[in-house]
Chains A and B, each alone.
Chain A
Amino acid sequence: MSEKKIFVVLLAAFLAAYFVPFADPAVQNAIAEALLLLQDYARQHVILCLIPAFFIAGAISVFVSQASVIKYFGPQARKLLAYSVASVSGSILAVCSCTVLPLFAGIYTRGAGIGPATAFLYSGPAINVLAIILTAKVLGIRLGVARAVSAVAFSVIIGLLMHLIFRRAPQGAAAQGFVAVPDTRGERPLAKTAAYFGVMVAILVAINWGKSDPSLALWHFIYRVKWLIGGILGLVLAWMLVRWFRKDELRDWTLSTWIFAKQIFPLLFAGVLISGFLLGRPGYEGIIPGRWVEHLVGGNSLGANLFASVAGALMYFATLTEVPILQGLLGSGMGQGPALALLLAGPALSLPSMLVIRQVMGTGRALAYIALVVVMSTIAGMIFGRIAA
């Protein structure tokens, strides 16, 4: 850290320690809420959900060849394929969130052009595998599914619209395609890779299977035997690891998982503390009164959804932090519709990322993209809010 930054941090810490009214019962309550929310997360979500999810993310980044997916975005790629792949590949290519912007810039300038590039730009943060899993676990399966489905649909729609709006404008430098980098590692048959991922996802779903209404016989049955299912699948996974993977691959996988955990855990930690402090646990209050939240983003009005969309677009969310923040907002009175709007606009955009997008595409196209994201998130929010009511 530079000397100037160290000074700023120390100064900020001192000012906080000096001025924050710790004696005020509201502040004390908010601090307690922050810690209690953190404990909830530690007890309910870390072991069964986050850790397996980190392993899955690590596996994606090691065993799925990015280069082989990227070739679908080359300048000669068939457009239909480019869009379909772009809309789902965010989960594969952008497991590390920092790759989204450079990759977007590359596809835009060298590859298939503005359509697939913006489709990917949106899907990258939006279809983040870890985020969808945690959303479903913490905020409920309905919101998780709505987020995943909308994100895929949006990226295709936004990509196509951007392409249509700007098709007559010159595309800039001639599309040169990406540099071909020889990959000397052995190939694993696709079926094996798919089976391996399938089993891991199945384990994750099984051990997190929630209790449901006993009248839904099948659902309830699965809940009763979820540990048995998880155990059997675990044995299957162990067999796969021993038979299909070399030692150095398993080591790479573990290292990749560790890198993600190192990077994301502290951010999630901080996000949970901040959310707890500001909004409190569901059913409790943090420092922000619940009625402010209800007033701004409660219900399902156009205003509420729009506000959530715009606020989400401007705010920066570190990976996964949108989940505890949304949990706090929902608990303080936010409507389901505006919640979805925030989920769709929040991770995809932030003030810093808007500036970068502007640098790559130019102000006009960047504004068009941002407007599309905000408008569509608002509409999706209103539709979902109506369905969920």
Chain B
Amino acid sequence: MEIRVLGPGCARCHEVEKRTLDALAQLDVAADVRKVTDFKEIMTYGIPGTPGLVINGKVKCAARIPTVEEIKRWIGEEIGKPSE
């Protein structure tokens, strides 16, 4: 599973990354989690605002900090699917 946290590096994006790692730990799921800070690359995802959360190439959340529960649900939706 491929997870990307989109954001230019401020505290809100860190929080999203932290919650994502939390969610993964709670579900005992492994994933390749990376921050995308280059804003030209962030632009390619077309999100209406940072921070953004992308799982397996699909934008699950943008422009706000999701709860750990929401992240767990999205991870659950993508378990077993290949990275796109």
Using CB atoms and an 8 Å cutoff, list the residues of chain A in contact with chain B.
61-62, 65-67, 70-71, 93, 96-99, 101-103, 105-106, 109-110, 176-179, 181, 184, 248, 252, 255-256, 259-260, 262-263, 356, 359
Contacts of A96 in B (CB 8 A): 10-12
Can you report 20 A-B residue pairs in the complex whose CB atoms are below 8 A from each other?
A61-B12, A61-B64, A62-B64, A67-B49, A67-B64, A70-B48, A98-B8, A98-B50, A99-B8, A99-B49, A99-B50, A101-B8, A102-B8, A105-B39, A106-B48, A178-B46, A178-B48, A179-B46, A256-B65, A356-B39
| A110 near B46: Cβ-Cβ < 8 Å | yes
* Residue of chain A at shortest CB distance from B13: A98
Q: Is B78 an interface residue (CB 8 A)?
A: no
Which B27-47 residues have C-beta < 8 A from chain A? 39-40, 42-43, 45-47
* Residue of chain A at shortest CB distance from B10: A98
| B49 near A93: Cβ-Cβ < 8 Å | yes
**Interchain nearest-CB distance for A169 vs B (Å):** 20
Using CB atoms and an 8 Å cutoff, list the residues of chain B in contact with chain A.
7-12, 15, 39-40, 42-43, 45-50, 59-65, 67, 70
| A181 near B59: Cβ-Cβ < 8 Å | yes
Contacts of B50 in A (CB 8 A): 98-99, 102-103
| A179 near B62: Cβ-Cβ < 8 Å | yes
**Interchain nearest-CB distance for B61 vs A (Å):** 6
* Residue of chain A at shortest CB distance from B8: A98
Q: Which of A62, A97, A103, A255 has the most CB of B within 10 A?
A: A103
Contacts of A256 in B (CB 8 A): 65
* Residue of chain A at shortest CB distance from B7: A98
If A101-B39, A105-B39 touch, does A181 touch B67 (CB 8 Å cutoff)? no
Given contacts A65-B63, A70-B49, A99-B49, 9 further A-B contacts (CB under 8 A): A66-B49, A67-B48, A67-B64, A101-B8, A178-B47, A181-B60, A181-B61, A252-B65, A260-B11
| A179 near B8: Cβ-Cβ < 8 Å | no
* Residue of chain B at shortest CB distance from A106: B43
* Residue of chain A at shortest CB distance from B6: A102
Q: Which of B39, B61, B64, B70 contacts A102 (CB under 8 A)? A: B39
Q: Which 8 A-B pairs have the closest CB atoms?
A: A66-B63, A70-B48, A98-B10, A179-B46, A102-B39, A66-B49, A178-B48, A259-B11
Contacts of A263 in B (CB 8 A): 10-11
A313 to B71, CA, bound (A): 40
| B45 near A179: Cβ-Cβ < 8 Å | yes
| B48 near A359: Cβ-Cβ < 8 Å | no
A256 to B11, CA, bound (A): 10
**Interchain nearest-CB distance for B68 vs A (Å):** 10
Contacts of B62 in A (CB 8 A): 66-67, 179, 181
Contacts of B40 in A (CB 8 A): 105, 359
Contacts of A70 in B (CB 8 A): 48-49, 63
A234 to B4, CA, bound (A): 41
A87 to B44, CA, bound (A): 25
